[in-house]
């Protein structure tokens, strides 16, 4: 069955599905809008399996476009709205998208680039145009084989990698998440995570499938406003990455405010330090707090820690979901010994494991083997079978919930003629989880300032990939093989770390960093 139909099958016609500012769309209206969008795309000549890009902020247009593309038997390709045009263009070319649906704001930004690429740009206003009311032959869908979406992330090389997500992947992961969260039609989630991010998209999948509703707020840089809307809308849940909760705890009145309808909080996208979790438990003793682990390559979620086990298993990612077999394996493929502190790689199998990377057989072969996903995350297993992540095998930095490839940032900095060598690593950060730190060896006798390096990155990379710290060194440390010893750089960064300034006062409404996906 087409997953778009499944997601829209439970909500009652007059029940609210999506609320955004002054706009409210019921399930009946959302079904109508979805079919209208699907008919429009098919009328333009799009055929089953064609990839269609979406470049839009969170909103009713994104929801309609995403569901409409899938309903038509096409493949949705959500694009990051804060990415540079060169990056977006590369993704569109990689995916082979001949059509791109764009919000009003993004259509203006994208107009020239779409023309240059020979891509047909369909603006938000176009969806308001009438579509001939004639019979449509809806394409048949094979859930385990046909793609519903390609979700782009950065692979181990830093180049865009499109994760191929089938209708069946979404159905399986959605079913499991609804089950452990116990989502009900009367649930109402506050959404601050972008829908182009698999975690944000999973909120859309699960709440629609449960017949519940979503409140969209794109102004998390003003956390007090988000919290007030949570109160006024009587939201029952909030999902965030580590920086979401760190900002709320340190730069808002979150702990002092009361949310009578709040039932649950869920956190993924990196590890939230234990002290923050404990603060939340103390401030909201009657609210269930779910810590979760996942990857785009697994549709969204792989495991969760039951709230009742937080006190005795604090720091654990829990165990695999009902439809997911999660193991920690040695290099020879055997399981590590539980309770031994032995470290191995997390390997997953199940119906939520995606089909691999679009048009990248080499990367697929590296991480998808024998119907299993090799996550690249290193972990140990305690005596009760609970898993604890201890390190990342891939050289990735998690900054505010974003996955950033160090190599990609290094290559951009290396474009500067004044740079001899550069290494980028992640270092602990109170708000972002990890901050990006760049270590640069300049040409002797050349005066290079941190602002020059950061300014160059700002012209080539999205904001969340710009190094927060730039340190100049006469040489980088190397190991016996000539490779940069990044662990030594991390130690250096911690030794030189200066604690951040005082937090913004709770009643101050200056913009704060967003927790984008």
DSSP string, 319-361: EE-TTEEEEEE-TTSPBPPTTTT--EEEEEEETTS---BTT-H
Alpha-helical runs (H) found in 345-465: 361-367, 406-413, 450-460
Query: What is the 3-class SS of 218-253, one letter each residue?
Result: CCCCCHHHHHHHHHHCCCCEEEECHHHHHHHHHCCC
Q: Does residue 315 sit within a domain? A: no
Please count the structural domains in the chain: 2
Residue 507 confidence (pLDDT) = 32
pLDDT in tens, the chain (517 residues): 899 999 999 999 999 999 999 999 999 999 999 999 999 999 999 999 999 999 999 999 999 999 999 999 999 999 988 888 888 899 999 999 999 999 999 999 989 999 999 999 999 988 887 887 677 889 999 999 999 999 998 544 456 799 999 999 999 999 999 999 999 999 999 999 999 999 999 999 999 999 999 999 999 989 999 999 999 999 999 999 877 887 788 778 999 999 999 999 999 987 776 777 888 999 999 999 999 999 999 999 999 999 999 999 998 999 999 999 999 999 999 999 999 989 899 999 999 999 999 999 999 999 999 999 999 888 999 999 999 987 565 567 878 878 787 777 887 888 887 887 788 888 888 788 888 999 998 877 888 999 999 999 999 899 889 999 999 998 878 643 334 778 788 888 877 653 333 333 333 333 333 333 3
Residue range of the domain that includes 479: 396-495
Angle value at C-alpha 88, between 204 and 266, nearest 5 degrees:
25
CA distances in angstroms from 407 to 394, 397, 410, listed in the order given:
11, 10, 5
Q: Does residue 388 sit within a domain? A: no
Length of the chain: 517
Residue 329 confidence (pLDDT) = 97
Residue 350 confidence (pLDDT) = 97
| Last-in-domain residue among 78, 106, 141 | 141
Residue 127 confidence (pLDDT) = 84
Q: Considering just the CA atoms, what is the radius of gyration of the chain in Å? A: 23
Q: How many helices (H) and strands (E) does the chain have?
A: 14, 25
Is 462 within 8 Å of 87 (Cβ atoms)?
yes
Rounded-to-integer distance, Cα 300 and Cα 155, Å = 16
CATH at 413: 3.30.300.30
Residue 503 confidence (pLDDT) = 32
| Last-in-domain residue among 124, 141, 158 | 141
Q: Does residue 156 sit within a domain? A: no
- Among the listed residues 68, 67, 63, the one whose alpha carbon sits nearest the alpha carbon of residue 43: 68
* The two three-digit tokens of residue 418, written as one number: 């004044």
| Last-in-domain residue among 141, 160, 191 | 141
* Torsion angle, alpha carbons of 222, 223, 225, 229, to 10: 140
Rounded-to-integer distance, Cα 17 and Cα 447, Å = 56
Q: Does residue 150 sit within a domain? A: no
CATH at 62: 3.40.50.980
Q: Does residue 337 sit within a domain? A: no
């Amino acid at each position: 069955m087409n997953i778009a139909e499944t997601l829209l099958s439970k909500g009652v016609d007059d029940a609210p599905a999506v609320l955004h500012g002054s706009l409210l769309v019921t399930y009946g209206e959302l079904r109508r809008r979805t079919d209208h969008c699907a008919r429009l795309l098919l009328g333009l000549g799009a055929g089953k399996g064609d990839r269609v890009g979406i470049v839009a902020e969170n909103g009713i247009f994104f929801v309609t476009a995403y569901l409409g593309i899938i309903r038509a038997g096409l493949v949705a390709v959500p694009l990051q709205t804060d990415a540079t045009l060169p990056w977006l263009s590369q993704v569109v070319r990689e995916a082979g998208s001949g059509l791109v649906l764009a919000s009003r704001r993004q259509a203006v930004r994208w107009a020239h680039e779409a023309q240059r690429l020979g891509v047909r740009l369909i603006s938000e206003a176009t969806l308001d145009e009438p579509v001939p009311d004639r019979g449509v032959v809806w394409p048949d869908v094979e859930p385990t084989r046909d793609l519903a979406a390609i979700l782009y992330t950065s692979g181990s090389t830093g180049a865009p990698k499109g994760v191929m997500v089938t209708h069946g992947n979404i159905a399986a992961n959605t079913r499991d998440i609804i089950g452990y969260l116990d989502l009900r039609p009367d649930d109402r989630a506050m959404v601050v995570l972008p829908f182009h991010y698999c975690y944000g998209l999973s909120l859309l999948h699960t709440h629609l499938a449960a017949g519940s509703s979503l409140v969209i707020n794109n102004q998390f840089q003003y956390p007090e406003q988000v919290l007030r809307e949570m109160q006024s809308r009587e939201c029952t849940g909030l999902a965030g990455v580590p920086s979401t909760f760190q900002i709320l705890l340190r730069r808002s009145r979150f702990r002092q405010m009361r949310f009578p309808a709040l039932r649950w909080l869920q956190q993924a996208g990196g590890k939230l330090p234990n002290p923050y979790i404990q603060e939340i438990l103390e401030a909201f003793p009657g609210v269930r707090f779910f810590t979760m682990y996942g990857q785009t390559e697994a549709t969204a979620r792989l495991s969760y820690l039951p709230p009742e086990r937080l006190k005795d298993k604090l720091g654990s990612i829990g165990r695999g979901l009902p439809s997911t077999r999660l193991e920690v394996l040695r290099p020879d493929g055997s399981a590590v010994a539980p309770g031994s502190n032995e470290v191995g790689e997390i390997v997953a199998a199940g119906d939520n494991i995606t089909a691999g990377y679009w048009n990248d057989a080499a990367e697929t072969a590296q991480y998808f083997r024998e119907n299993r996903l090799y996550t690249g995350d290193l972990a140990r297993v305690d005596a009760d079978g609970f898993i604890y992540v201890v390190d990342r095998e891939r050289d990735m930095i998690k900054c505010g919930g974003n996955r950033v490839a160090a190599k990609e940032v290094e290559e951009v900095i290396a474009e500067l003629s004044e740079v001899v060598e550069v290494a980028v690593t992640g270092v602990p950060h109170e708000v972002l989880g990890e901050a990006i730190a760049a270590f640069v060896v300049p040409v002797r006798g050349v005066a290079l300032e941190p602002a020059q390096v950061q300014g160059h990155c700002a012209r080539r990379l999205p904001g969340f990939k710009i190094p927060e710290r730039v340190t100049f060194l006469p040489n980088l440390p190397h190991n016996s093989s000539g490779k940069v010893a990044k662990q030594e750089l991390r130690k250096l960064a911690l030794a030189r770390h200066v604690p951040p300034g005082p937090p913004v006062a709770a009643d101050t409404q200056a913009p704060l960093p967003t927790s984008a996906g």
